[in-house]
Amino acid sequence: MSAVDPRLSINQATIKYADLATALRVTADAGIQAIGLWREPVNEVGLDIAARMLSDSGLRFTTHCRGGFFTLPAGAERDAALDDNRRAIEETATLAAAGAEGSTAVLVLVAGGLPEGSRDLIGARERVRDAIGVLAPEAKAAGVTLAIEPLHPMFASDRAVVSTLGQALDIAADFEPEVVGAAVDTFHIWWDPQVLEQIARAGREGRIATYQVCDWKTPLPSDVLLSRHYTGDGVIDFGSLTRAVIATGYDRDIEVEIFNADIWADAPSNVVRRTADTFAAAVSPHLG
Amino acid sequence: MSAVDPRLSINQATIKYADLATALRVTADAGIQAIGLWREPVNEVGLDIAARMLSDSGLRFTTHCRGGFFTLPAGAERDAALDDNRRAIEETATLAAAGAEGSTAVLVLVAGGLPEGSRDLIGARERVRDAIGVLAPEAKAAGVTLAIEPLHPMFASDRAVVSTLGQALDIAADFEPEVVGAAVDTFHIWWDPQVLEQIARAGREGRIATYQVCDWKTPLPSDVLLSRHYTGDGVIDFGSLTRAVIATGYDRDIEVEIFNADIWADAPSNVVRRTADTFAAAVSPHLG
């Protein structure tokens, strides 16, 4: 067992079936200093109680997952999605204030896929930009950074019409960097021929709101959403990507976010320990 | 049943389990004028006999599938792959000469994935460029165009380290356009935020060696290689993509290439008829 990297943050999705109390406990017990939370387990206990629990844990809060789903045309469903994002902004601000010193108020946004029956990818992308335009002033007022997360292109139709870091930065460019940034997640962007130059650009433009790591391996499982692995178990070169992020001056925590049925079936305490060990081996050496 | 579009070509993989004689017969019987062949069924009967069968069919020949797999480091395996590509170039030239007037000598290249145990994506891409450099003079001498096919990023680790049309064009840029071009396949590139500008660029640079169409739909099947659909059955906007290709002056045939277990299980004569009908509905209206 290696020393735990002080910059490691456990994204709660990595231990999906742990409730909030368990997630906080096993993370702190493993000597990990930070956590990224998901809305559902927070809302299961209620925001105020969740904030108190987080505060009691002594952990830093790194991101809130997740808002977004912005691709619907005007109407009641879109309005409801925007309202839900307003609640997510409030949750993010509250949790960041409750976390230990060094917490960051970052709300991760997943763009959403093509609306049912639509083939208008360009229109869907415009609606993402429009929704961020609506929410940006509210995020700014709350001191929250919206982090547009490009998702791997295999999710372009059903989950996120934002597929590359360059595209996320093009959308973010309309807004202040403290208000709209990007989530840099190795799983989603490792394949991109432009990845290193776009990471450098994201840094120059002050847009790296969060750096998240996990690995890619084939064959993909039948549900490709669950094809994320411990760092080092797949083919991603964490050296070049991590050095590129660090070279921009990124000094925040680094989340490990894994969706994987086998890992979810393991005991949360095992998972966080193995996450810390694999992070120490695959990522820490590149943190300079 | 619609009229068959005169520019439609059946890629033989769409009727994977048909031998060469069957593939040629059902294609011609359906009133389709062109076909793209695969190496295995050609070599099953032998190149000379295949060429005679193709000639007798009266069909145009559009592409040969496929060469590539260029990412191995120097050594016997890489040498064998290059030799195999030399044979593929010869096959392409022979078949193009045997096809009806308007045939094109295009060899589709799939780059290959990361070598076993490697995480060096950048190095693998360099080896693709190097291999094309070795083969380009031989392709030129044979009058064959090598068509670099960017594959969807979900195949970046295990099948093709060339993931975008822009990247394929960057590699092709070192060579003459008649010798090295790109395969523009809607399935692989529809999601790309830069797709329309890169199609325009490919046209300007004289690099669209073949335009191939099929559709994308989720959920993906457990083998994501088989997630290709009839045009119109998924979410791809064939209007914008096809108009962009045609706007470049592309005047060749258009292949439908579908890998799909359900479609492969259907009778080849049904499949080619349905391919023609769905092409007429989804693609033909945009051919101007």
Does A3 map to a domain?
no
Does B2 map to a domain?
no
Between strands B34-38 and B8-11, the pairing is parallel
Mean pLDDT of the region B207-221: 97
- For residue B288, the model assigns a pLDDT of 85
ipTM of the modeled complex = 0.96
- Please name the residues between 90 and 149 in chain A that touch chain B, using a CB distance below 8 Å: 114, 118-122, 125
* A170 chain-B contacts, CB cut-off 8 A: 193
**Burial letters A101-137, b for 16+ CB under 10 A, else e:** eebbbbbbbbbbbbbeebbbbeebbebbbebbeebbe
Burial of B83 (0-12, 13-18, 19+ CB in 10 A): exposed
Cβ-contact A228, A258 below 8 angstroms: yes
Give per-residue pLDDT as tens, A221-267: 999 999 999 999 999 999 999 999 999 999 999 999 999 999 999 99
Beta bridge partners of residue B161, listed in sequence order: none
Does A1 map to a domain?
no
Expressed as residue numbers, the domain containing B186 is 8-286
- Per-residue pLDDT band at A2 (split at 50, 70, 90): low
Does B65 map to a domain?
yes
Mean pLDDT of chain A: 97
Report the CATH number at residue B106: 3.20.20.150
CB within 8 Å: A218 and B190: no
Question: Over pLDDT 90: what percentage of chain B?
Answer: 98
Give per-residue pLDDT as tens, B56-67: 999 999 999 999
Mean pLDDT of the region B124-133: 97
Cβ-contact A45, A88 below 8 angstroms: no
Asked whether the predicted pLDDT for residue B234 surpasses 70, the reply is yes
Residue A5 has φ and ψ, to the nearest 5°, of -65, 130
CA dihedral A22, A25, A28, A33 (to 10 degrees): 50
- For residue B2, the model assigns a pLDDT of 66
CB within 8 Å: B154 and A157: no
CB pairs under 8 A between A and B: 81
**In total, how many domains does chain B have?**
1
Q: Which two tokens stand for residue A287?
A: 């943190």
Asked whether the predicted pLDDT for residue B32 surpasses 90, the reply is yes
Tell me the nearest-neighbour CA distance from B266 into chain A, angstroms: 23
Does B3 map to a domain?
no
Q: Which two tokens stand for residue A263?
A: 């890992």
- Which whole-number Å values give the CA distances from A263 to A30, A215, A230, A257, A267, in the listed order? 17, 13, 9, 11, 8
Pick the residue of A71, A237, A241 with the most B CBs within 10 A to test the interface with B by mutation. A237
Give per-residue pLDDT as tens, B68-83: 999 999 999 999 999 9
Does A265 map to a domain?
yes
Give per-residue pLDDT as tens, A47-75: 999 999 999 999 999 999 999 999 999 99
Cβ-contact B76, B51 below 8 angstroms: no
**How far is it, in rounded angstroms, from Cα A211 to Cα A208?**
7
- Per-residue pLDDT band at B100 (split at 50, 70, 90): very high
**How far is it, in rounded angstroms, from Cα B158 to Cα B110?**
11
- For residue B1, the model assigns a pLDDT of 54
Does B1 map to a domain?
no
CB within 8 Å: A122 and B157: no
**How far is it, in rounded angstroms, from Cα B237 to Cα B260?**
20
Name the residue with tokens 């045009």: B231
Single-letter amino acid code for the residue at A197: E
CB within 8 Å: A237 and B119: yes
Q: Which residue of B has its CA nearest to A224?
A: B220
Asked whether the predicted pLDDT for residue A1 surpasses 60, the reply is no
CB within 8 Å: A224 and B154: yes
Angle, helices B121-142 vs B165-172, to 10°: value is 60
Does B173 map to a domain?
yes
- For residue A170, the model assigns a pLDDT of 98
Mean pLDDT of the region A210-218: 97
Q: Which of A157, A166, A170 is closest, CB to CB, to B235?
A: A157
Mean pLDDT of the region A115-142: 97
CB within 8 Å: B121 and A154: no
**How far is it, in rounded angstroms, from Cα A160 to Cα A237?**
24
Question: Over pLDDT 70: what percentage of chain B?
Answer: 99
- Please name the residues between 24 and 53 in chain B that touch chain A, using a CB distance below 8 Å: none
Beta bridge partners of residue A181, listed in sequence order: A147
Q: Which of B154, B164, B236 is closest, CB to CB, to A154?
A: B154
CB within 8 Å: A237 and B163: no
A243 part of contact set with chain B, CB < 8 Å: no
**How far is it, in rounded angstroms, from Cα B118 to Cα A204?**
30
- For residue A32, the model assigns a pLDDT of 98
Mean pLDDT of the region A23-38: 98
- Per-residue pLDDT band at B34 (split at 50, 70, 90): very high
- Answer whether the bond into residue B39 is a cis peptide, omega within 30°: no
Neighbours of B222 (CB within 10 A): 14
**How far is it, in rounded angstroms, from Cα A250 to Cα B225?**
37
Residue A212, H or E segment: strand A208-213
* A236 chain-B contacts, CB cut-off 8 A: 119
Pick the residue of B120, B121, B170 with the most A CBs within 10 A to test the interface with A by mutation. B121
A218 part of contact set with chain B, CB < 8 Å: yes
